Structure 1
Amino acid sequence: MTIGFSFRTAASRSAVTRTALTCSALCAAGLLAAAQSPATAVTTAVAGAPRPAAPPPASLDRTGTLVRARPGAPDVPDVSALSWLVADARTGDVLASHNAHRRLPPASTLKTLFALTVLPTLPGTTLHTVRERELEGIGAGSSMVGVEDGITYRVADLWRGVFLNSGNDAVHVLASMNGGWTSTAAQMQAKARALGADDTHVVSPDGYDTPGQVSSAYDLAVFGRAGLRNPDFARYCSTAEAMFPGEAGSRYGIQNTNRLLTGANGVGHYPGLIGVKNGYTTNAGNTLIAAAKRGSRTLVVTVMNPQAGGGLTVYEEARSLLDWGFAADGRVDPVGTLPEVPAAPAAAAGPSAPAARHGGPARSPAAVRPADSARPVAAAPSDDEESGWSDAAGIAGAAALGAAGVALVLRLRARRSGRG
């Protein structure tokens, strides 16, 4: 059967048809709106609700001296260092700082990051006979503790050589045991990022002057604070004197070069000092991470490259900052916060290859991405999203068929009316 229109009724039938189609389209639009995904509907419903305020930008990114003193707070001491920071070791609150994120050569204070990275993999009771190749590549003028090839050392002895004498020879041996110099540098870099220390770039694990190697007073405070939560680290960094193995079973005394700890060579011992690590190179000048406890409070202070005085200035400036930090207790508001420190991993049960020490197959450090450096990826549509669009398409199709049906009925009625 052919359905046609007479000329006489075409105009009225067209108007009726247009009206029907318009109504059907409006219905389809309403159905499509109702068919949107639940997530979209919720978003629309709460669009006018107030959102939580974004945290203010960290003031530690600003240059110059930062302190938020309350009435009666002591004045911040006059410090010549290019960068420094005072923080509460327990809470991570930064009490005051100066150019906290300025990137500078760290010298041997970088050994704190080396220890945080390697200590968990090498138990102190492990015995290791040093090979000549493990002592190759030590920089000219490096500080040494006296490690000799052919002598068997306990790993604990080598760590005391690192912390007390800042021995680059001990660092080279431990790095070799940890998988090699380059691998250890990569692991240290990953560790720094995992701790939230983004100013640090590791090239030489011993802190030796190397182009591109930098850290900051902020990052060094992060390393010092994390180290104090590791019992092995805390024990080594607070040791003032020890005996070190020599040839033919002999032993000789070594002393910590942190003079605030020992009170040696014209620097008075600081009461309550815990450690942590000092350093010096030509490019870095004098650097220091110092921690001290008074009552229930522990402070961490970092000082990088004082510009006044001689080699002892770094200790005196750290002393004045520690004194100020204890005196300012409850009298200043934090200017920033160090990132939360994860729990220190336990040392491995015994000597083994790197893969066995970590309890699984060895992985390249480059393949391990720290959590805070993960990059977002495009998300695939969820099942809900896909079904939502399918439902919408179905509704649109049904609406179109309904519109055609309505138009057909109206046309037939109009045709019968025209014939009568």
Structure 2
Amino acid sequence: MIVTPAVRHATAGAAVLLLVLPVPTATASAPAAPAAPASAVSSVGEPTPPARSFVDPARLDRSGTQVQPLRGAPQLPSVSALSWVVADAVTGEVLAARDAHRPLPPASTLKTLFALTALPHHGGNERHTVSDEELNGIGEGSSLVGVKEGYTYKVSDLWNGVFLSSGNDAVHVLAAMNGGWESMTRQMQEKARALGARDTRVVSPDGYDAPGQVSSAYDLAVFGRAGLQDPQFTRYCSTRYADFPAGSWSFGIANTNRLLTGADGVARYPGLIGIKNGYTSNAGNTLVVGARRGGRTLVVSVMNPQGGGGFAVYEEARELLDWGFDAAGRVRPVGSLKPAKSLRQEAPQPVRAAARKVTKAGPEAAGATKPAAAAARDPHRQATPSGKAAGLPLALVGAALGAALSLWLWRRFGARAN
């Protein structure tokens, strides 16, 4: 073929056409990675655990029961509690919940927050002599372990009084050792906010009924999960029996959590770690428990069962624990016990990297991530085209268009030249 000036001009035009074709950035053209099917089942018939993904905490703000079952998921038990949460204590994923953020009086389950706040400040072997002033202001009808003014106790004895006997007298003494009642109230409120527990309002650190004092099943589960990450907290809350000193002698005390001790006809729950139970006339029965089974740890909170008698809180917690262990890998999380800030930090890495670059250098910079670095941060990124690879299909289309244009121009002008 003889290439005439017109043809050369057309070919150059095609080249220019190819040069000005926009190359899409990684964020503009990269297709989303395919999601694993909800009903995926392994070769042994067990459902494949759901892929980890960003969990929208706003789902738990909805009223009613929240659960996302997969194929083979067990049916949720029917419980009468006004509010409850079942969560994985390790990952923080909420497996199911009912009215998780409903504000309700917490009773002595608020002592979990008290312990999280005060435990780090004094060693267990430290000794303290109780003054009369430290026992002032204890609410009428409070549960007591038997702390006496003028007696000297180890801090570990006082914590046994808090966790086993739910002793408000022990709470008052420990609060005095940590800045006083009002200071302790402020410290607990700050601790709750730091943990992402936004429903809790502390008025009385021992959990005694007080106007405006509320928490929620979500917050109690947050406190329980945080406590299980502290060896001291775990040791105290899982202790069934202890000796409490009384001067030259001592007397035995038992944990009032019946799921832990098996007292009063309530069967012990296998693998139960403990945590805390509570009761007041205003709050009804409340409970937050943790349990381990098969390498998995769950935390369950139950607030104010409406039927079944005084021990219904234990039986409903038992049913929810059983369901939680059976539902492993068969439900998608409906929320998380981690603070919202932590959830934002755990958003998929490529998304965060792109967002940072858009902020700093404009939208074009979002696609400038080097493929090797992106793959190192997220193995799923390897399946997502980016950079020049994403522009390759359009470049081929441009080349084909350029060739077609050249052929048309040659036929029109080149034939005349011949």
Give the TM-score of the pair, scaled to structure 1. Answer: 0.68
Give the structure 1 partner of residue 299 of structure 2: 300
Code of the residue aligned with 2:322 in structure 1: it is: D
Separation in structure 2 between the aligned mates of residue 340 and residue 159 of structure 1, nearest angstrom = 27
Deviation digits for residues 29-83 of structure 1, max 9, x if unmatched?
xxxxxxxxxxxxxxxxx9x9699x9975621000001110012111000010000
Which of 1 and 2 has greater Rg? 1
In the alignment, does 2:104 pair up with 1:109? no
> Structure 1: 5+ residue runs without aligned partners?
1-45, 343-420
The reply to whether residue 179 of structure 1 matches residue 171 of structure 2 is: no
Query: What pairs up with 1:49-128 in 2 under 5 angstroms?
Result: 56=56, 58-128=58-128
Q: CA deviation at 1:222?
A: 0.4
Partner of 1:251: 250
Residue identity opposite 1:211 in structure 2: P
Partner of 2:399: none
Secondary structure (helix, strand or coil) at the match of 2:197 reads: coil
Q: Which residue of 2 aligns with 1:418?
A: none
Determine if contact 2:57/2:335 at 8 Å carries over to the other structure: no
Q: Is the 8 A contact 1:226 1:341 kept in 2?
A: no
CA gap of 1:288–1:57, structure 2 versus 1, over 3 A, is closer
Measure, in 2, the Cα distance between the counterparts of 1:62 and 1:233.
Answer: 32
SS of residue in 2 equivalent to 1:58: helix
CA distance in 1, matches of 2:219, 2:330: 25
Structure-2 residue corresponding to 1:153: 153
| 1:266 CA drift (Å) | 1.1
Q: 1:338 to 1:196 in 2, by over 3 A?
A: same
- Equivalence for 1:390: none
**Deviation per residue, 1:228-265 (Å, 9 max, x gap):** 01110000000000000013x11000000000000000
Corresponding residue SS for 2:265: coil
Contiguous gaps of at least 5 residues in structure 2: 1-24, 33-53, 342-418
Equivalent position of 2:314 in the other structure: 315
Q: Say how many residue pairs are matched.
A: 296
Q: In structure 1, what residue type is equivalent to 2:303?
A: M
- Structure 1 segment 202-351 matched on structure 2, within 5 A: 202-247=202-247, 249-339=248-338
Helix, strand or coil for the counterpart of 1:59? helix
Any conservation in 2 of the 1:130–1:151 contact (CA below 8 Å)?
A: yes
After the TM superposition, which segments of 4 or more aligned residues of structure 1 sit over 4 Å from their partners? 48-51, 53-57
Query: In the alignment, residue 175 of structure 1 is paired with which amino acid?
Result: A
Distance, in Å, in 2 between the alignment partners of 1:158 and 1:276 is 16
Instruction: Quote the Cα distance in structure 2 between the aligned partners of 1:229 and 1:264.
Output: 27
| Residues 329 and 123 of structure 1: CA distance in aligned 2, closer, same or farther (over 3 Å) | same
CA distance in 2, matches of 1:55, 1:109: 27
Instruction: Report the RMSD for the aligned CA atoms in angstroms.
Output: 2.2
Counterpart Cα distance in 1 of 2:235 and 2:340: 18
Counterpart residue number, 2:140: 140
Question: Structure 1 residues 221, 186: closer, same or farther in 2, change over 3 A?
Answer: same
- Distance in 1, Cα, partners of 2:340 & 2:297: 15
CA gap 1:164/1:50 in 2 versus in 1, 3 angstroms: farther
Structure 2 CA distance for aligned equivalents of residues 57 and 97 of structure 1? 12
Shift of 1:295: 1.6
The corresponding residue for 1:196 is 196
Give 3-state SS (helix, strand or coil) of 1:278's partner.
Answer: strand
Amino acid aligned to 1:185 = T
User: What is the distance in 1 between the residues matched to 2:55 and 2:272?
Assistant: 35
Amino acid at match of 1:287: T
Residues 268, 55 of structure 1: CA spacing in aligned structure 2 closer, same or farther, 3 A cutoff?
closer
| CA gap 1:228/1:143 in 2 versus in 1, 3 angstroms | same
